[in-house]
Every structure is written in structure tokens, then in C-alpha cells.
Amino acid sequence: MIIFNITVIVEDTVHDDFFHFLHNEYVPTVQNSEKFQEVKTYRLTEPVNEGITYCVQCFAKSREELDNFRDQKFIELSQALLQKFPDKAFFFTSVLEYSNPL
């Protein structure tokens, strides 16, 4: 299993608008892409950073599914995020692979 993690740090001043965007536009778009088995959102509580940090974890069956999402939808979503919250939100991504103990 591949986990695509999207971490977003948003300024306090736009938190309410961002929270609405995250749960009513961003996450539904990710879910509707049908590239992931599950999508979960988390609020980071430690370490404490300036602003508020959210993580969106997208669980894909394969690297191919993730690559398809990145090619088809992720650029569009990233642009929407940056257009709605210019200079108020910063994001980065990481990819994790499930490691089952022997």
C-alpha cells in the first residue's frame, strides 16, 4: 500500500475558510478521483508550528494509481489551494510505503 501525504500549513487568519475548503472541495475531489481506497484528514498537534497544520493521507493500492492521480488531478488541486489562499497556505507532499514486519 502506498500513502500519499499532503501536509498543509495555513495561517490562523484564514483557518475557517480553509477548513471549509478542505472538507467540502479538496477532500471530495480527491475521493472522487477514484484513485484511492481511503482518504483521511488529520490536524497536527505536535510539534506546534506557526499557523495550523493539516495532513491529508490518501491510501492507494499501487504506485501507478498514485502517479495517475498526480498526473490527472493533483496539479489542479494545488493550483486551487494556492489561488484561494495566496500567501496564507504552504503545502508539501510525501510518499510512504506500508512496511509489514517479517
On the CB side of 88, CA atoms within 13 Å amount to 15
Instruction: Please choose, from the candidates 65, 91, 81, the residue with its C-alpha nearest in 3D space to the C-alpha of residue 29.
Output: 81
- What pLDDT is recorded for position 48? 84
- Please identify which residue in the block is written with the cell numbers 482518504: 39
Q: What are phi and psi of 66, to 5 degrees?
A: -60, -45
**What domains, with CATH codes, occur in the chain?**
2-97 (3.30.70.100)
Contacts of 61 (CB under 8 A, 6+ apart): 1, 2, 37
Q: What are the CA-CA distances from residue 47 to residues 25, 41, 54, 70 (Å)?
A: 27, 17, 12, 28
> By the 8 A CB rule, do 10 and 52 touch?
yes
* Residues 17-27 pLDDT 10s: 999 999 999 99
pLDDT digits (tens, 9 = 90+) for 35-87: 999 999 999 999 888 899 999 999 998 999 999 999 989 999 999 999 999 99
Long-range contacts, 47-51 (Cβ 8 Å, 24+): 49/9, 50/9, 50/11, 51/9, 51/10, 51/11, 51/12
Model-wide pTM > 0.85: yes
pLDDT at 102: 66
